[in-house]
Structure 1
């Protein structure tokens, strides 16, 4: 899959495609159905499939840290789109210039001159251009004038409710990982490279692998049982997601204590699957209190894995 960053990097070879546009935060089952529409049409027309996304996401541009929590950071989203079999991703920087672009300029600069879109898949409520003045009817009219077709996306329902990033986000925030798996079509994971932290966990006997979240907010906050994967290895553990108030942290960080693990993994790509909510994040009166609570969390998490393993074994026997 080819990643194209910005309109200025479009070349003649990128002209002629079947495209869709959106945030695609989480790349959930609803998104996957849209991507299947795009890929099917692209195969029929013998053209590449293109997904247009934004960085930052528009609501982050307007609301900053008050924007809804992200399900996936940029590189996670690109990885998921690659896995879905999309040919190209065009990432547009959402800035003041793009925000002020008129609907007609959007059609002319992006769809016609930039991509020469032959088929465009969008939601029937899709709005675009400055002050959201462009709509589906305008796209259809432009298509008729310039020779491209426009298609509605199909609403995807689970349990009689539309699958959306908002619904996935709400599900994660209440710790319903069974439903989030159902909506995403996979377990909810955070993936990133293990980085050096301030080593406080190591000092108090609870070393952690740290991954920066690279987002204003995360839909998860608190302590969880997790399963971590890197390369061909898989390790159970307990994690904290949050700003670490006891040590005056500010931005969200994922910290994972891996059970019975002693190898160095700095720089490795780690995928963390969230399994069960243990407790909210809280501020403690000093490192001694934090240490006591962390050892309690580890013991609670180990018991959860033991109980979960027992339930799984009994289910297999039955």
Structure 2
């Protein structure tokens, strides 16, 4: 994934906000883009190539909240990236901006033909559209790739459709990546995403047990819908523009309290106060499942082993980290 140009602002437009003029006539890649994985980036690359050839901006059009959260509000959705993370990842692709449509009752009931005429043509005046092979849109998912190609021919804009992408027989999809993370297979998730999966959050106060044990941790509460497997991970932590290696535990701390899930990260070779700071924690490798120990001494001994295993995994990973940053 190319680095973000520092002299090229990334424009975010919500619905028909005033900055919409900056992205009119763009070639637009459309999708949910949860995780902005390699499959998503193949769609975005189609838009970028056509935009470059036509001398037009390249942009993405995405939906928030995720439509599945709207239609199945009582079901938890393990998102690979929340809206903020998604926009950071989209910016890192080098597109000029993103149009974020609010997915509500009005948009859900908008027929596919009107989605094309009112949003793509009237609002955005698109110079082209790129979508994935399985993209559907409009009321009742009535709009298909074939429908959009036909509509583009009628309204005067080309439509490019990205074919399915596989990695060693596995479909590169958000669902496949969620399944890998739910099983603790973070190396597989990295391969499918094209970067290490990460979480972001504000460091909160915990019970400070880690400090007493000689392993002070930076603690994050993750989204309750997060399906990541409970266990110990080798991680790389971003604090501003600095990177630190570490080892993290995600789970309920069965040796102590079986409380609410918490991500507790011990940063190697770091000293300082992180409370209240926002950090990115990227998962580099799987160490072991979460387990209950019979004594504190046994736990500390295992934490020492975990730290060494994490250092080894991180050494093998080079400088792997998500392509974050948005000016």
Residues 234, 98 of structure 1: alpha-carbon distance in 2 compared, 3 angstrom cutoff: same
Of 153, 156, 176, the match for 1:147? 156
> Aligned residue for 1:56?
65
> Aligned residue for 1:240?
249
Report the Cα distance in structure 1 between the residues aligned to 2:115 and 2:316, rounded to whole angstroms.
55
Tell me whether 1:194 sits opposite 2:199 in the alignment.
Answer: no
> What SS does the aligned partner of 1:229 have?
strand
Q: CA deviation at 1:96?
A: 2.1
Of 111, 114, 120, the match for 2:120? 111
Of 72, 75, 79, the match for 1:66? 75
CA-to-aligned-CA distance 1:174-197 (integer Å, 9 cap, x gap): 23333222222222222x243323
Tell me whether 1:230 sits opposite 2:245 in the alignment.
Answer: no
Residues 257, 243 of structure 1: alpha-carbon distance in 2 compared, 3 angstrom cutoff: same
Report the Cα distance in structure 2 between the residues aligned to 1:144 and 1:32, rounded to whole angstroms.
25
**Runs of at least 5 residues in structure 1 that lack an aligned partner in the other structure:** 313-318
Report the Cα distance in structure 1 between the residues aligned to 2:72 and 2:232, rounded to whole angstroms.
27
Q: Is the 8 A contact 2:36 2:89 kept in 1?
A: yes
Residues 136, 235 of structure 1: alpha-carbon distance in 2 compared, 3 angstrom cutoff: closer
Residues 103, 270 of structure 1: alpha-carbon distance in 2 compared, 3 angstrom cutoff: same
> Aligned residue for 1:299?
304
CA-atom RMSD in angstroms: 3.0
> Aligned residue for 2:5?
none
Report the Cα distance in structure 2 between the residues aligned to 1:292 and 1:54, rounded to whole angstroms.
49
Report the Cα distance in structure 1 between the residues aligned to 2:311 and 2:22, rounded to whole angstroms.
55
Aligned ranges 1:1-318 → 2 under 5 Å: 1-9=10-18, 11-64=20-73, 66-190=75-199, 192-201=200-209, 204-205=212-213, 206-214=215-223, 216-231=225-240, 233-242=242-251, 246=257, 248-249=259-260, 253-259=262-268, 261-281=270-290, 295-305=300-310, 308=313
TM-score (structure 1 length as normaliser):
0.82
Residues 64, 241 of structure 1: alpha-carbon distance in 2 compared, 3 angstrom cutoff: farther
> Aligned residue for 1:316?
none
Q: Is the 8 A contact 1:70 1:219 kept in 2?
A: no
Aligned length: 305
* Structure ranking higher in helix proportion: 1
Report the Cα distance in structure 1 between the residues aligned to 2:296 and 2:104, rounded to whole angstroms.
44
